[in-house]
């Protein structure tokens, strides 16, 4: 069980920078497309922006929860 807890903890630590980079990339693309894309792109980004933020919140929440659960067994 200790090996599983260590694996979860290491996985959470390894994926956090990747998720941060993906989030920054998504926000940069959204910003550029609202500047360049016109009214249609602005509407599309406004629809999808809440899902980008929700996805980031779910990932970071799950990472924090995973670390907390793994700490119980370590």
pTM of this prediction?
A: 0.69
Question: What residue spans define the domains of the chain?
Answer: 1-73
- Reply yes or no on whether the pLDDT at 73 is more than 80: no
Structure tokens that stand for 31 in this block: 């910003």
CB 5 within 8 A of CB 70: yes
- Reply yes or no on whether the pLDDT at 74 is more than 80: no
CA-CA-CA-CA torsion for 11, 15, 16, 22, nearest 10 degrees? Answer: -170
Show Cβ contacts of residue 66 under 8 Å, excluding neighbours closer than 6 positions: 8, 9, 11, 12
pLDDT band at 25 (very low <50, low <70, confident <90, very high): very high
């Amino acid at each position: 069980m200790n090996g599983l807890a260590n694996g979860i903890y290491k996985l959470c630590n390894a994926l956090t920078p990747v998720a941060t980079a993906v989030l920054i990339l998504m926000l940069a693309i959204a910003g550029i497309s609202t500047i360049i894309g016109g009214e249609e792109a602005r509407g599309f980004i406004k629809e999808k922006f809440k899902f980008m933020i929700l996805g980031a919140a779910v990932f970071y929440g799950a990472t924090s929860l995973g670390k907390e659960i793994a700490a119980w067994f370590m």
